[in-house]
């Protein structure tokens, strides 16, 4: 039983609570004395929901103690040591090592943001902690600067405050709509209640790195509704200070958890930055090792069909994800707003019924900049483009337009299918179809034939790549054919035209048909090539001149 003194309280007959040193959503943290071993400790007094019935409170205490004991089994230099888990007067307490020093949040508030090298160091230490926890089946669920301690004198990074009192199912929204965790650092899949796994903690780390570098999360807004909208819908714009480690930040802040950078690769890239001082590059053929995302699962390009066939374009699953996510996002936001007292009607008016705006400016001019999808083995195949099609059969093409796309008849004299929501933007001799926010760019160029044909054109573009595309790398040109016509496939990566844009990958097919030469490409962020691949396949497979 707890005993009361004039200013102190002793719990479990052993731990004397001396001074309150912190408070959070899960409870109060005390500086305490372990009277048995004669040492200073930190004791977290967990607060139970007063609205619970006696049975519900008992179940929550049992779950809390069980999860606390699981954390106590984690031994890692960057995870706070849990010494004991006790119950006193039907209230659970967690006894931990006492870290002399404030939190990362306090450091940022008092001394300002950290530089890129310090952020990388912090990120590496936290990734080590998360890998240890995830390997033991423990999720943190509330990773944010306030839950990262910086030990005075050593600057040791210590992850604390695992989501011990998380509701059953480890989702972000409770049955009553109350929010558990910190929305600015919560992954979009947790917002929607879709899933929770190690990837969700990695998203939180990406937001934490942005906050460490700039002073605030990139998802900070004036209201809960604004935060939820920013996390799930709005374009993600890492701060300029993140440029030195931008590939890591972008990879961690990938909305699709299956494409999110995993802990091992993120740590490797951060260590590369610390060792070289240069911005690390995500390999083009990078495949997360935590999840089974085989390259062979990519849809087969329509040009790989036999020459005698006129195959339908495979319906890709990714392009339709945007509209489906919009519906899911709206449901999640409405649920959250209901818990926060915001009307669903107001939310829908704010969102406008869709997930993004319409771009009004053309994409920057560039030499055949196009997005490129990787092959099953991580390298580009040498396909023989053999789709046959009557150039005038626009109606046949229309019948093959996949769900989530629309057939557009361009005023410059060609037709092709583009994803819903893409808008046309002329760029001189090039025509662009741009996604909201210009994240994905489909490009088309028509020209007179040149000496040497498509292969010579693509080889010249490859040679000029460093001059036209900042950070040009991994360029390769493959001779092929398209519809029985000579063609060449060009694939490359580059750094993007601005720091905010980040590394991109391009996939470009050029072919000669009669007295004209055609060039169709797609450009996309390096980390989103799997999403861009179907855009390229469909654009090439449905293109018709005239």
pLDDT in tens, 82-93: 899 888 888 889
Residue 501: which pLDDT band, with cuts at 50, 70 and 90?
low
Looking at residue 416, its pLDDT comes to: 92
Can you list the positions of beta strands (E) in 411-503? 414-419, 423-427, 430-434, 441-447, 473-482, 485-494
Evaluate if residue 235 carries a pLDDT over 80: yes
Looking at residue 308, its pLDDT comes to: 31
Q: Which CATH class is domain 301-545?
A: alpha beta
Looking at residue 500, its pLDDT comes to: 64
Which residues are CB-contacts of 340 (< 8 A; sequence separation ≥ 6)?
177, 179, 224, 225
**How many Å apart are CA 469 and CA 508, to the nearest integer?**
14
Residue 72 sits at φ, ψ, to 5 deg, of -65, -20
**How many Å apart are CA 329 and CA 229, to the nearest integer?**
8
Looking at residue 282, its pLDDT comes to: 67
> Residue 259's closest CA among 532, 496, 46?
532
Please answer whether residues 95 and 84 qualify as being in contact, where contact means their C-beta atoms are separated by less than 8 angstroms.
yes
Mean pLDDT within 214-237:
90
**How many Å apart are CA 402 and CA 404, to the nearest integer?**
6
The tens digit of pLDDT for each residue in 366-381 reads 333 333 333 333 333 3
Evaluate if residue 150 carries a pLDDT over 80: yes
Evaluate if residue 464 carries a pLDDT over 70: yes
For 208-224, the three-class secondary structure string (H helix, E strand, C coil) is HHHHHHHCCCCCCCCCH
Looking at residue 402, its pLDDT comes to: 87
Sign of CA dihedral 101, 107, 110, 111: positive
Mean pLDDT within 461-489:
88
Please answer whether residues 532 and 524 qualify as being in contact, where contact means their C-beta atoms are separated by less than 8 angstroms.
yes
Match domain 104-292 to its CATH number in 3.60.20.10, 3.40.50.300, 1.10.10.60, 1.10.510.10: 1.10.510.10
In the structure encoding, which two tokens stand for residue 223, read together?
A: 């209201």
Which of 73 and 277 is assigned the larger pLDDT?
Answer: 277
Winning range, highest mean pLDDT, from 31-40, 230-239, 343-352, 362-371: 31-40
Looking at residue 191, its pLDDT comes to: 83
DSSP 173: B
Please answer whether residues 439 and 446 qualify as being in contact, where contact means their C-beta atoms are separated by less than 8 angstroms.
no
Evaluate if residue 148 carries a pLDDT over 90: yes
Q: Is 516 exposed, middle or buried (0-12, 13-18, 19+ CB in 10 A)?
A: middle
What ranges in 73-141 are assigned the alpha helix state H?
A: 104-111, 116-135
CA 297 centroid distance within chain = 20
Q: What is the mean pLDDT of the chain?
A: 75
Please answer whether residues 251 and 261 qualify as being in contact, where contact means their C-beta atoms are separated by less than 8 angstroms.
yes
Looking at residue 1, its pLDDT comes to: 44
Percent of the chain with pLDDT over 90: 39
Looking at residue 427, its pLDDT comes to: 64
Winning range, highest mean pLDDT, from 32-41, 137-146, 366-375: 32-41
Which of 492 and 380 is assigned the larger pLDDT?
Answer: 492
> Residue 380's closest CA among 289, 293, 480?
480
Please answer whether residues 522 and 443 qualify as being in contact, where contact means their C-beta atoms are separated by less than 8 angstroms.
yes
Mean pLDDT within 381-405:
47
Catalytic residues: 142
Dihedral (Cα; 369, 375, 380, 382), 10-degree rounding: -120
Mean pLDDT within 532-545:
90
Looking at residue 498, its pLDDT comes to: 67
Determine how β-strand 516-525 pairs with β-strand 504-513: antiparallel
Mean pLDDT within 148-153:
93
> Residue 520's closest CA among 477, 480, 489?
489
Please answer whether residues 218 and 212 qualify as being in contact, where contact means their C-beta atoms are separated by less than 8 angstroms.
no
Please answer whether residues 199 and 257 qualify as being in contact, where contact means their C-beta atoms are separated by less than 8 angstroms.
yes
The tens digit of pLDDT for each residue in 333-355 reads 544 444 443 333 233 233 333 33
Looking at residue 4, its pLDDT comes to: 46
Of 81-90, 394-403, 414-423, least confident by mean pLDDT is 394-403
Q: Is 295 exposed, middle or buried (0-12, 13-18, 19+ CB in 10 A)?
A: middle
Mean pLDDT within 433-462:
91
Which residues are CB-contacts of 326 (< 8 A; sequence separation ≥ 6)?
233, 354, 355
In the structure encoding, which two tokens stand for residue 40, read together?
A: 């200073």
Mean pLDDT within 11-37:
87
Return the domain boundaries, the chain.
3-97, 104-292, 301-545
Of 160-164, 319-323, 331-335, 510-514, least confident by mean pLDDT is 319-323
Looking at residue 210, its pLDDT comes to: 97
Winning range, highest mean pLDDT, from 56-60, 100-104, 214-218, 229-233: 214-218
First CA to last CA distance, the chain: 86
What b/e readout covers 57-67, taking b as 16+ CB neighbours within 10 angstroms? beebbebbbeb
Which of 474 and 290 is assigned the larger pLDDT?
Answer: 474
CA angle 61, 66, 70 (to 5 degrees): 145
Looking at residue 299, its pLDDT comes to: 34
CA distances from 420 to 71, 250, 251, 423 (A): 46, 25, 25, 9
Domain 3-97 has CATH 3.50.50.60: no
Looking at residue 302, its pLDDT comes to: 34
> Residue 182's closest CA among 129, 222, 227, 248?
227
In the structure encoding, which two tokens stand for residue 81, read together?
A: 């040591």
């Amino acid at each position: 039983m707890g005993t009361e003194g004039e200013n102190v309280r002793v719990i479990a007959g052993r731990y004397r609570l001396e001074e309150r040193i912190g408070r959070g959503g899960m409870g109060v943290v005390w500086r305490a004395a372990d009277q048995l071993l004669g040492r200073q400790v930190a004791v977290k007094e967990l607060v139970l929901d007063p609205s619970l019935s006696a049975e519900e409170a008992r179940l929550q205490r049992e779950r809390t103690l069980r999860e606390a004991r699981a954390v106590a089994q984690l031994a890692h230099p960057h995870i706070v040591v849990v010494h004991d888990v006790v119950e006193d007067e039907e209230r659970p307490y967690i006894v931990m090592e006492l870290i002399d020093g404030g939190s990362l949040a306090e450091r940022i508030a008092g001394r300002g943001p950290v530089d890129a090298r310090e952020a990388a160091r912090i990120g590496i230490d936290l990734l080590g902690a998360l890998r240890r926890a995830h390997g033991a089946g423990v999720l943190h669920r509330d990773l944010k600067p306030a839950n990262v301690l910086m030990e005075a004198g050593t600057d040791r990074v210590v992850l604390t405050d695992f989501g011990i009192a998380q509701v059953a199912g480890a989702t972000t929204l409770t049955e009553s709509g109350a929010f558990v965790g910190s929305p600015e650092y919560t992954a979009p899949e947790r917002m929607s209640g879709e899933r929770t796994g190690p990837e969700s903690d990695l998203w939180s780390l990406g937001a934490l790195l942005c906050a460490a570098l700039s002073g605030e999360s990139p998802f900070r807004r004036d209201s809960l509704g604004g935060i939820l909208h920013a996390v799930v819908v709005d374009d993600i714009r890492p701060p300029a200070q993140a440029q030195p480690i931008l590939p890591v930040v972008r990879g961690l802040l990938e909305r699709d958890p299956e494409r999110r950078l995993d802990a091992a690769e993120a740590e490797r890239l951060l260590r590369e930055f610390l060792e070289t001082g240069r911005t690390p590059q995500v390999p083009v053929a990078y495949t997360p090792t935590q999840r089974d995302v085989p390259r062979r699962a990519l849809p087969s390009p329509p040009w790989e069909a036999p020459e005698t066939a006129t195959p339908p374009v495979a319906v890709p699953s990714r392009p339709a994800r945007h509209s489906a996510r919009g519906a899911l996002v709206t449901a999640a936001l409405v649920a959250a707003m209901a818990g926060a007292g915001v009307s669903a009607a107001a939310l829908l008016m704010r969102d406008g019924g869709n997930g993004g705006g319409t771009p009004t400016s053309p994409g920057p001019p560039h030499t055949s900049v196009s997005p490129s999808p990787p092959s099953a083995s991580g390298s580009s195949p040498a396909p023989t483009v053999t789709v046959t099609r009557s150039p005038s059969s626009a109606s046949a093409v229309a019948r093959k337009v996949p769900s989530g796309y629309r057939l557009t008849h361009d005023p410059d004299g060609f037709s092709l299918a583009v994803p819903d929501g893409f808008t046309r933007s002329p760029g001189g001799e090039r025509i662009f179809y741009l996604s909201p926010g210009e994240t994905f760019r489909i490009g088309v160029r028509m020209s007179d034939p040149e000496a040497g044909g498509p292969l010579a054109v693509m080889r010249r573009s490859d040679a000029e790549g460093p001059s036209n595309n900042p950070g040009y790398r991994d360029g390769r040109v493959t001779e092929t054919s398209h519809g029985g016509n000579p063609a060449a496939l060009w694939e490359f990566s580059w750094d993007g035209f601005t720091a905010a844009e980040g590394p991109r990958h391009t996939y470009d097919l050029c072919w000669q048909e009669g007295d004209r030469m055609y060039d169709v490409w797609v450009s996309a962020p390096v980390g989103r090539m799997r999403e861009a691949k179907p855009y390229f396949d469909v654009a090439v497979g449905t293109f018709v001149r005239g």
